[in-house]
Amino acid sequence: MSDSGDEMDVDVPIIMAAEGAKGKRSTANLPVEAEDSLPWIEKYRPATLADVSGHQDILSTLNKFVDTNRLPHLLLYGPPGTGKTSTILALARHIYGAENMRQMVLELNASDDRGIDVVREQIKTFASTKQIFSISGGGGGGGSGKGGAGYKLIILDEADAMTNAAQMALRRIMEKYTANTRFCIIANYAHKLSPALLSRCTRFRFSPLKEVDIRVLVDKVIEEEGVNILGEATDALVKLSKGDMRRALNVLQACHASSTPLRAKDAPKTPAADIVRETITTETIYTCIAAPPPDAIREIVDTLLNTTDVTSCLNTINTLKVAQGLALADIITALAEELGRLEVKPEVMIHWLSGLADIEHRVAGGGGEVVQTGALVGVVRNGVELWRK
C-alpha cells in the first residue's frame, strides 16, 4: 500500500478497524452494568462537554469548531489528570452520539502497539475508508445534524511515547485523508512530538485544574458514594492533588476503602447501607499520599531557623524522619514552600533555593539520604547566618 497509489475507498467493515486486531474496547464504550466495579476515575468521567471541569475557554472554542463544522486536527497537551482524554471523548459523543462512537472513533493508547506498522496499516486503513451510511443525530444536540459527523475521528493518546518513525509516517496520512478524518493527538509533553506534527494541529494546553474545579467533583463523589470525611480533610485532599483530578479521586477512593472495616472470615456480607465506616481525617489523607504533615514541616522549619547547634538540628530531622516515615525528597519540596513564604533578603532566598535545588538533584540521582540531610541543614543554616548579619 503505497501513498501514491491509494485512492479513498468506500468501506463497510468500519467496526473491525475501530476495534483492532486484539478486540480492544475503550472505557468509553463499557456497558452500564460494569460501572459498579469501575474505579471512580472512570465511573465519574464526564459524559458531556458541560460536565468537564475547568478549561471553559478551550471547551467554548471546541464547541464553536463543531457547530460550524470546521473541526481541525487537535493537539491537547498538559500535565496528567487535567481532563485531556475526558474532553475529547465527550466531544466525540457530542458529534456522533454514544451509539455511533465505536464506528466513527478509533482510540489508541500508550498501551497499544503504535509503531510504524500500525500507522501504515491500522490507522491508514481506518482513515482512508469513508462512512457510506447516514449517522443518526449526535448526543449533544450539535454534531451530525449540522454535518458534523461527515468525518471520522482518530484519537492518539499519550502520543509523546510514539517512535520518531511512526510520527513521520503519520504526518502524510493526516494531510492526505483530511477530507473524511480528523486526528486528535494527546500528549503530556509537546516538545517530544515532531515539529511536523505540531504544525498540522491546533494546540490547546491543559493547565493544572484550579482547586475550585476539583472541589466540585470531589464533593459530588463524596455525596453520591457516602464517603465519611471531615471538611478539613477534603480541603487537604484538594490542596495536595495539585491540579490533578485523577490523583484526587484515586486518593479519595483509597481512603474510603481503608475506612471500611474488614469482614470476618465466613461472616455474612453486610449490606452497604449498614456498614459503619471510620471518619476520614486530615491525617488519613496525608498518610495515604505519603506527604509530610504540616506540623512536622513547621517543627523542622522552626528548628532550622532558631537552633544554632547543627548537630541538634540534624538529630531533630532524623528523629522526625524515622518516627513519621518521611522521605528527604518530600521534606525538601515542603521546606522550599515554607521558606518561600518568609520575608528575607533576596540573596538569602537565592542561597536557600539554589542549595535545595542542588540537594534535590543529588537525591534524585541516587545520593545517600544521610549525607544529603546534613547538606540540607548546612544550606538552611548558612542562609540564616546571611539573613541575620
Average pLDDT over residues 220-238: 91
CATH class of the 211-262+275-289 domain in this structure: mainly alpha
CATH 3.40.50.300, the chain: domain bounds: 9-205
Tens-place pLDDT, residues 202-220: 999 999 999 999 999 999 9
294-387 CATH: 1.20.272.10
* pLDDT given at position 96: 87
Average pLDDT over residues 339-343: 90
Place of cell 509523546: 160
Reported CATH class of domain 9-205 = alpha beta
Q: What share of the chain is helix, strand, coil (3-state, %, to 5)?
A: 60, 10, 35
Across 27-36, 293-302, 310-319, 372-381, least confident range: 27-36
Residue 192: all three cell numbers together: 517530544
Residues of the chain with CATH 1.20.272.10: 294-387
26-35, 174-183, 278-287, 363-372, range with the lowest pLDDT: 26-35
Q: What is the per-residue pLDDT across 143-162, written as a single tens digit (0 to 9) for each?
A: 443 344 578 899 999 888 88
DSSP E strands in 25-172: the ranges are: 74-77, 105-108, 129-131, 152-156
Q: Is 364 exposed, middle or buried (0-12, 13-18, 19+ CB in 10 A)?
A: exposed
pLDDT digits (tens, 9 = 90+) for 42-81: 899 988 888 898 899 999 999 999 888 888 999 999 999 9
The reply to whether the predicted model has a pTM over 0.95 is: no
